Amino acid sequence: MDGQATIIDQDKLHAFVGRAINDLAAGSAGVMISLGQKLGLYKALAGAGPLTAAEVAQRAGCAERYVREWLNAQVAGGYLAYDAGAGGRYTMSPEQAMVLANEESPVFIPNAWEVVAAMWLDETKSLEAFKTGKGVPWGDHHDRLYCGVAAFFRNGYRASLVKEWLPALDGVTAKLERGIAVADVGCGYGHSTVQMAEAFPRSRFTGFDAHAPSIAAARGNAAEAGVADRATFVTARATDYAAAAQGARSDGTRGDGAQSDGGYDLICFFDCLHDMGDPVAAAKHAAKRLAPDGTVMLVEPFADAQTEGSVSPVARLYYSGSTAICCAHAISEGGKMVLGAQAGEARLAEVFREAGFTRFRRAAATPFNLILEARL
């Protein structure tokens, strides 16, 4: 084949160019989505019926000429409907409003673009990491990453954590209702910790995270939700958080929320184990801190066992984030085992078996997450 001209299939070429253009359009649409959220344009449209560009601009307090161009970009992308009659009016369907305007909806998506923005802003760090093989610690990323990740996961957890995922574990909900000690490892902004604390007032929750600014945000979220008395937060790594702070409380707990015997009845890892440089060490530490008959709850991104089975928009999203964020952090922590966001159930099971756990099962699954249970 050396020296022979490469034959280009024009149909395949045009089809692939079309795919690339779609991706380019989607990338630019993300900027428009972020603007629409932050300027209140989607909220101005939601439930309002057909509106002219001038009416949308007035409701959102924005300049009409910019708004008109933005609205047309939304129509071009299928995010709004347009009726040329009656002076040209734009309409948002109830389904579109759930995705774009309702900030409490489990499918609200605009915040996810903060993560993409951070990936662009951190491009020079990624370039250097690729060339040197060095890592990029979580705390070295742009601030938009932290708020974006927290907001993106918050609503999904709110829809499923208490209602579906915890009940899928063996006997855990009944224990939570009676009152137990729970550790939320890698808690970030603490949304998962706060949601559990709201649902189970007899239990005590401690969120641990190595990123001090996230712990500060978590404390604020707990205070705002009125659960700071039973949801506390400590800056610590997944391999060194204490089972109990000094000084037992009168309610039978210690300073960090653990039972006075030093064990946690439930230890949670929400979308974070794959970010750790030594996930086996994190699992071993959990085994040491687990109370007798305790449970580890592991929530990880959904992934097929083989790469060829992970070909989908969701897998593409996770692999991309894993490249720039997850693997980069794991490598920064020494990278003894860099799982990546698409580790899959089989590799995760190996981690816990190596850590001494004898029982590991899939408790539930969604198109986005695997919910796994591990016990000693």
Q: pLDDT digit string (tens) for 298-357? A: 999 998 766 666 678 888 999 999 999 999 999 999 999 999 999 999 999 999 999 999
Task: Show the 3-state SS of 17-70.
Answer: HHHHHHHHHHHHHHHHHHHHHHCCHHHHHCCCCCECHHHHHHHHCCCHHHHHHH
Q: Which amino acid is at 32?
A: M
Scored b (16 or more CB within 10 A) or e, 178-189 reads ebbbbbbbbbbb
Token pair for residue 99?
A: 């995705």
What's residue 72's pLDDT? 97
pTM comes to 0.88
Which overall architecture, per CATH, does domain 113-375 show? Answer: 3-Layer(aba) Sandwich (3.40)
Q: Residues 364-369: contacts with CB within 8 Å, 24+ apart?
A: 364/164, 364/165, 364/168, 365/302, 366/160, 366/302, 367/302, 367/314, 368/156, 368/301, 368/302, 368/314, 369/156, 369/271, 369/299, 369/300, 369/301, 369/302
Q: Report CA-CA distances (Å) from 363 to 32, 300, 341.
A: 38, 12, 19
Question: What is the topology classification, in CATH, of domain 10-103?
Answer: Arc Repressor Mutant, subunit A (1.10.10)
- What whole-number distance in Å separates Cα of residue 238 and Cα of residue 186? 7
User: How many Cβ atoms from other residues are within 10 Å of residue 140's Cβ?
Assistant: 13
What's residue 152's pLDDT? 85
Query: For 355, what's the count of Cα atoms within 13 Å in the CB-facing half-sphere?
Result: 27
- What whole-number distance in Å separates Cα of residue 331 and Cα of residue 276? 8
- 214, with CB counted inside 10 A (0-12, 13-18, 19+), is buried
Q: What are phi and psi of 106, to 5 degrees?
A: -70, -15
User: How many Cβ atoms from other residues are within 10 Å of residue 340's Cβ?
Assistant: 19
Please list the ranges in the chain whose pLDDT falls under 70: 1-3, 243-262, 305-310
Residue count (the chain): 376
What's residue 250's pLDDT? 30
Nearest one of 131, 136, 371 to 273, comparing CA atoms: 371
Token pair for residue 309?
A: 């089975």
- What whole-number distance in Å separates Cα of residue 73 and Cα of residue 319? 28
What's residue 3's pLDDT? 61
- What whole-number distance in Å separates Cα of residue 100 and Cα of residue 236? 35
Q: What residue ranges of the chain are covered by domains with CATH 3.40.50.150?
A: 113-375
- What whole-number distance in Å separates Cα of residue 197 and Cα of residue 166? 13
What's residue 5's pLDDT? 82
Q: At what angle do helices 64-76 and 53-60 cross, to 10 degrees?
A: 120
For residue range 31-56, what is the model confidence (pLDDT) as tens digits? 999 999 999 999 999 999 899 999 99
Alpha helices in the chain (DSSP H): 10-38, 41-45, 53-60, 64-76, 94-100, 112-121, 123-132, 143-160, 172-178, 191-199, 212-225, 279-289, 313-321, 327-332, 345-354
Q: What residue ranges of the chain are covered by domains with CATH 1.10.10.10?
A: 10-103
User: How many Cβ atoms from other residues are within 10 Å of residue 37's Cβ?
Assistant: 20
Distance of CA 221 to the CA centre of its chain: 17
Contact 245, 183 (CB under 8 A): no
